[in-house]
Amino acid sequence: AQSVSQHNHHVILSEAASLELGCNYSYGGTVNLFWYVQYPGQHLQLLLKYFSGDPLVKGIKGFEAEFIKSKFSFNLRKPSVQWSDTAEYFCAVNSAPTGGGNKLTFGTGTQLKVEL
Amino acid sequence: GAGVSQSPRYKVAKRGQDVALRCDPISGHVSLFWYQQALGQGPEFLTYFQNEAQLDKSGLPSDRFFAERPEGSVSTLKIQRTQQEDSAVYLCASSPRLAASTDTQYFGPGTRLTVL
Per domain, the residue ranges of chain A are 3-115
Q: What is the pLDDT of residues B54-74, one digit of tens each?
A: 999 999 999 999 999 999 999
pLDDT at A1: 74
CATH class of A3-115: mainly beta
- Mind telling me how many Å the CA of A98 is from chain B's nearest CA? 6
Average pLDDT, integer, range B18-28: 97
Instruction: Give the Cβ contact number of residue B116 at 10 Å.
Output: 10
- Residue in chain B nearest A32 by alpha carbon: B102
> Cβ A43–B109 below 8 Å, yes or no?
yes
Check if the beta carbon of residue A107 is closer than 8 Å to that of residue B42. yes
pLDDT above 90 for B84: yes
Integer-rounded Cα Rg, in Å, for chain B is 13
**Structural domain spans, chain B:** 5-115
pLDDT at B100: 80
Q: Write the secondary structure of B50-106 as one string of H (helix), E (strand) and C (coil).
A: ECCEEEECCCCCCCCEEEECCCCCCEEEEECCCCHHHCEEEEEEEECCCCCCCCCCE
Flag residues of chain A having pLDDT under 70: 96-101
In chain B, the percentage of residues whose pLDDT exceeds 70 is 99
Q: What is the pLDDT of residues B30-45, one digit of tens each?
A: 999 999 999 999 999 9
- Residues from chain A contacting residue B34 (CB–CB below 8 Å): none
Judge residue A57's burial from the number of C-beta atoms within 10 Å of its C-beta, 0-12 exposed, 13-18 middle, 19 or more buried. buried
pLDDT at A101: 55
pLDDT at A88: 97
Neighbouring residues of A28: CB distance < 8 A, sequence distance ≥ 6: none
> Cβ B107–A36 below 8 Å, yes or no?
yes
- Residue in chain B nearest A50 by alpha carbon: B102
pLDDT at A93: 94
Architecture of domain B5-115: Sandwich (2.60)
